[in-house]
Structure formats: structure tokens, C-alpha cells
Structure 1
Amino acid sequence: MTGEGHTAEGASPAALTWRDGAVPVSSRFDDPYFSLKGGLDETRHVFLAGNGLPSRFRDGFHIAELGFGTGLNLLAAVLLWQAAGIAGRFRFTSFEGFPMSAAEMARAHEAFPEVAEVSPGLVAAWQRGARRFAVGPADVEILEGDARAVLPGWQGRAEAWFLDGFSPAKNPEMWGEDLMAEVGRHTAPGGSFATYTAAGFVRRGLAAAGFAVSRLPGHAGKRHMSAGRMPLPGEDA
């Protein structure tokens, strides 16, 4: 890790240092929480556009995510929903093993002035310990713990997955075939996933889980990312 910052006061389970005073980095996985070349732009390119959003949005749409982190993906989804003028509400379920503190989350959001309007609602809910709360049109549920243990017992099925764990090279447990199979099992017919990684073992695991997997251009000079769709009944994979 280059350009290390200091460890945050009141350290949380996230075990952070701060690069250049603004970018949170996991000491546990030696990996930044968002792109050093525009984290919000990467979220929009990978997770939103990669899942065909906002064109698929509708009242009751359900997004699920592996790796809540700073909550930036949630905030970007809220802003996109609002900008698109979608009626109704959407659900957002995220699985997080090492949650940040509210202060750390707020500090991370300072790098993105565009989220200033929606960040306070998330930070305030987090500060009071809520893990089910609303942020604008989003009804949010955060499930804490190792996703390999928590996801199998989840009763939901998502229409879009944001797969946003730390790098597969540094956190392979979040990308294993068994967990990808659970992602597939918890995806609605016609549902989708998107992720920044194009690692071969991740793509193979998602294909084995039933997704038709595509490799797409990555963000900010990164060659590739991955996205995919769960075929509808009777449709070829």
C-alpha cells in the first residue's frame, strides 16, 4: 500500500487507514473502499449501468449487495432513482462483515459532494445503530456478518446484485464458488449482477450459478468488468 494515512480514531471493525486523508483503505485486506480514479463514477459505470439501471427501475425493485462499505453504492442508486423520476420505492439489502463507524462513513462521503444531500440520512441512521431504515426512496436493510454464513438464510431474491467485495486477489472468500451459487439462488428470474472484477474464477463461479456472464469494458482505463443475467424460465442461458 502506498501513500498510507493514519488510522482513524475510535477504530471500527472496518480497521481503516486513510490514503491522502480522503480514501478509506482496509488494513485487513490492504485495499481501498473505492476507486482512486473516481469512486462515484466507478459505481455508476459498474454497478448501475452494469445492471441496466435506471431503465429497469420500477416500484418495488430490489437491489442486493455484497459489501456495504461506505454506503456509496446505495447513495448513488438513490440519486439515480430520483434523477430518473421513478414513482414509488425500491429495496436495498446489503451484507457487510466489517462495518464502518458513522464518523468514518461521513468522512468517506466528503470526497463526493454530489451525495451531500442524501448522505446525512444514512449517517444518522448508522449513528443510532439502525440496520433497517429509509434513505429517500430506498428501504434499506443491512445484514452484518460473514456473507457465507448469512446469505444462505436470507429469504429474499434480488433483481440486481452489486458484487463489491474487496479484490478477489486479497479477499477470495467473498468470491468463492459456494457464495456465488448463493447469489444465483437469491436472484429473481431475469435478474442481474455487475462487478468491477473480471477474474476468471469469479466469472466461472457466476456462470456455474446460472448466470449468462459477459465481460464488459471497465472503468477509468481498467480493461474489463463483469456483468450477467439470470435467464427467465425456458430461456437459454
Structure 2
Amino acid sequence: MTENEQPKDGLSGLEWKDGAIPVSRRFDDPYFSLADGLAETRHVFLAGNDLPARLRDGFHIAELGFGTGLNMLATRLMWAATNPSGTVHFTSFEAFPLSAEDIARALDAFPEARAVADDFLAQWAKGQRHIELPGLVLTVIEGDARQTLGQWQGKADAWFLDGFSPAKNPELWSADLMAEVYAHTQPGGTFATYTAAGHVRRSLAEAGFEVTRLPGHGRKRHMTAGRRA
């Protein structure tokens, strides 16, 4: 254990790097970028899906991997800053939901996001997974996305593909699951992800997406985005 690491928490399945960054013991991977996770979210998922230009009332975002809810809160901040009325829908698929306490602790690293998280956290702590917030309706579907996504009746205008690293969490990047993502995407809908792994890009292309490699965030050279024609 390095001097920057904290003792592992056997109850939550987390360890805390630098006392602030949650790292999954199950996947040995951090929940957000070590180099400003909020900035990465804005670069990869918001800009990668061209959301500043596309968000509108009724827009539906879907996500693989809810984690700390940082992507949802970044979306909420963008929507509130640009559109005083209307509602965005945000559906996330999460197999291992964190406790409200762990989410709150993680979000303390991002005061801007934490400042708008209290109403979400209060409902999350009560076990609610369909949460109505000002300007955004959140639904978190618990369970293995390989089973739950196929049962979902919705279609997304934009996807945030934000599972743990493909090398450590290959189940969330399989060709079959990418095909389900495509099937649950509106015509003209998009996806974005931080990873540029070749097998992930090939699976997305084989599913039917037009796939583009873009500059990544921070030290990551590349990321991936795409569109359903």
C-alpha cells in the first residue's frame, strides 16, 4: 500500500485513493479520472455527444455504469445553465450501486457537482431508483446490463458508455451488449466513451454505428464517439 492509499473498506467494496477518489476493489479501477473527473465527463460525454447543441426538452440519455452519478450531475448542471425549463430523461444501468454515503464522499471532490446533489442523495438514500429532480428525471436500473438492457423498452438520443476499463470489466463492452446499445438508440442518436480500445470500436462499428476516434481527455490520447445513421 502506498502512502497515498487508504485502507480498504470491506463493507463498501471500495478503497479511497488520496482519501477522495473511490477505487472499485472488484475491478481494481477508479470510478472517475484521477485528473479531474468532472472535466473528463464534460469532455468525453457531454462534448463527445455534442450535447451543448443537442439537449432539449424530452431528450433521453442512457448510460452503462452509473457509479457516483457524476455524469448525471454534470448533465444537470449543463441543462440548468442553458435551459431554464423542460425535462431531460437520464436512464442508467448499474450492477453494483454505491451507498449514498459513498457517493456523497466521492462527490466532495467536485464542489460544483456536490452543490446540486442533495436532493438526489436524499432520495437515493431511501432506496429510490426513479428520482425526479428539477429539470431531470433519473432512472437507475439495477442488475447486469447484459440482461436488463435487452428488457428495456426505451431508446436513447445519446449514450454514455462509462463502464470500468474494458481490460478489467470486459462484460460491459462485449459485442452482444454493444449491439443492444445500438438497438436502443434513436435514429441519429449518438454514443461517446473514454476508451479507444480497438475491440470496442470494432464491436460498435459491427453493431451499425459510424465510429470516430477523437482526442481524449488529459493524458489519454484518444476517445471514441459515434452516431447511428
TM-score, normalised via structure 1 length:
0.93
Distance in 2 (alpha carbons) for counterparts of 1:220 and 1:134: 33
Paired AA for residue 185 in structure 1: A
Deviation digits for residues 91-125 of structure 1 (CA, Å, limit 9, x no counterpart): 00000001100000000010001113311111111
| Amino acid of the structure 2 residue aligned with 1:4 | E
Give the Cα–Cα distance (whole angstroms) in 2 for the partners of residues 135 and 34 of structure 1.
23
Query: 1:67 is matched with which residue?
Result: 65
SS in 2 for 1:87: coil
SS in 2 for 1:54: helix
2:122 to 107, 121, 124: 124
Whole-angstrom CA distance in 1 between matches of 2:120 and 2:161:
20
Identity of aligned residues (%): 63
Deviation at 1:228, TM superposition (A): 0.2
Q: CA deviation at 1:8?
A: 3.6
The RMSD of aligned alpha carbons is 1.2
Distance 1:6 1:146 in 2: 28
Residue of structure 2 in register with 1:34 after alignment:
32
Q: Which residue of 1 aligns with 2:176?
A: 178
Correspondence for 2:145 among 128, 144, 147 = 147
Counterpart residue number, 1:187: 185
8 A Cα contact 1:78 1:135, kept in partner:
no
Aligned residues: 228
**Contact residue 195 and residue 224 of structure 2 kept, 8 A:** yes
Q: Tell me the residue number matched to 2:216.
A: 218
Aligned position for 1:43: 41
State the alpha-carbon separation in 1 of the partners of residues 39 and 133 from structure 2.
20
Q: Deviations over 1:118-162 (max 9, x none)?
A: 111111111000000122211110000000010000000000000
- Name the structure 2 match of 1:169: 167
- Whole-angstrom distance in 2 between the partners of 1:100 and 1:116: 16
Match among 76, 90, 93 for residue 92 of structure 1: 90
What's the CA shift for 1:54?
Answer: 1.6
Partner of 1:235: none
Q: Please give the alpha-carbon distance, in whole angstroms, between the structure 2 residues aligned to 1:33 and 1:147.
A: 18
Where do 5+ consecutive residues of structure 1 fail to align? 232-237
Query: Which position in structure 1 is the counterpart of 2:7?
Result: 6
User: 5+ residue gaps in structure 2?
Assistant: none
Partner of 2:227: 229
